[in-house]
Structure 1
Amino acid sequence: MTGYVLFDVQNVLDEEAFKNYESQVVATTAQFDGVYRVVSGDARALEGSWDPRFVVLIEFPSREKAEEWYGSEAYAPLKKIRQSSADCIGVIFSGVGG
């Protein structure tokens, strides 16, 4: 079953640091077979109170692979950069099917 990581970048606090993150993060997701499915600033909520700003959706072969990537040593220094340079909402979830 596929796994997904979704980030909504609400506000970039440090443009230079965030660009550094962006330039390196794709290589780490590729190590865990992650594929970027959505990278978009044109999302809008249809219902509820969510106000999406810039949505990134990464697909992994499984929820376990997604969890491995997020907790990996490869992603750890980049995670710190992202967390200090931007306000983000992040979620992880499983896809449907077998």
Structure 2
Amino acid sequence: MPAYAAAHLRSVQMGEEIIDYLRRIDETLPPFKGRFLSHGKTPEVIEGEWPGHLVLIEFPDMEMARGWYHSPAYQAILPLRTKNSEGSAILLEGVGPEYRAADFLKSIGLA
């Protein structure tokens, strides 16, 4: 199953360290077959509130996503982002192309 790294960045202080981070993050992705799906776009909020931006990176599976996040190459630049932004980051396993919402009911014993 695909997996995703997502960051909800509520505020970013654009300075030398963030610029360095942005210049270096791309080189951390290829060994883990990661690719940006969204980055730096302003979301169209259709329900509730969403301060900031969402960054979304796709990986072939959760093992590759974890490998990227914990890799020496990414860990070396991570402080450049965390010291200069406020937000949350997650890794999330995706679903296959045949998945249907009702499948969730099966997973919790209600179908």
TM-score class normalised by the smaller sequence = 0.7 to 0.9
Q: Determine the C-alpha separation between the residues in 2 that align with 1:63 and 1:48.
A: 29
| Alpha-carbon shift at residue 80 of structure 1 (Å) | 1.2
State the percentage of identical aligned residues. 29
- Relative to its length, the structure with more strand (as a share) is 1
Q: Determine the C-alpha separation between the residues in 1 that align with 2:10 and 2:21.
A: 15
| Alpha-carbon shift at residue 66 of structure 1 (Å) | 0.3
Deviations 1:35-54 (A, max 9, x none): 111114321443345x2412
Residue 18 (structure 1) aligns with: 18
Q: Which runs of 5+ in 2 are unaligned?
A: 98-111
> Superposed, which structure 2 residues align to 1:4-83 within 5 Å?
4-49=4-49, 51-83=50-82
Q: Determine the C-alpha separation between the residues in 2 that align with 1:61 and 1:52.
A: 29
Moved over 6 A (4+): none
Deviations 1:3-32 (A, max 9, x none): 100112211135221011000001101221
Q: TM-score, normalised by structure 2?
A: 0.77
Aligned Cα root-mean-square deviation (Å): 1.7
AA at the equivalent of 1:7 = A
Point out the structure with max Rg over C-alpha. Answer: 2
Q: TM-score, normalised by structure 1?
A: 0.87
Q: Determine the C-alpha separation between the residues in 2 that align with 1:42 and 1:12.
A: 13
Mapped contact 1:45–1:52 kept (Cα < 8 A): no
Deviations 1:40-89 (A, max 9, x none): 4321443345x241211000010110011111111111111111121122
Mapped contact 1:2–1:94 kept (Cα < 8 A): yes
SS in structure 1 at match of 2:30: helix
Q: Which runs of 5+ in 1 are unaligned?
A: none
How many residues of Structure 1 are paired with residues of Structure 2 in the alignment? Answer: 97
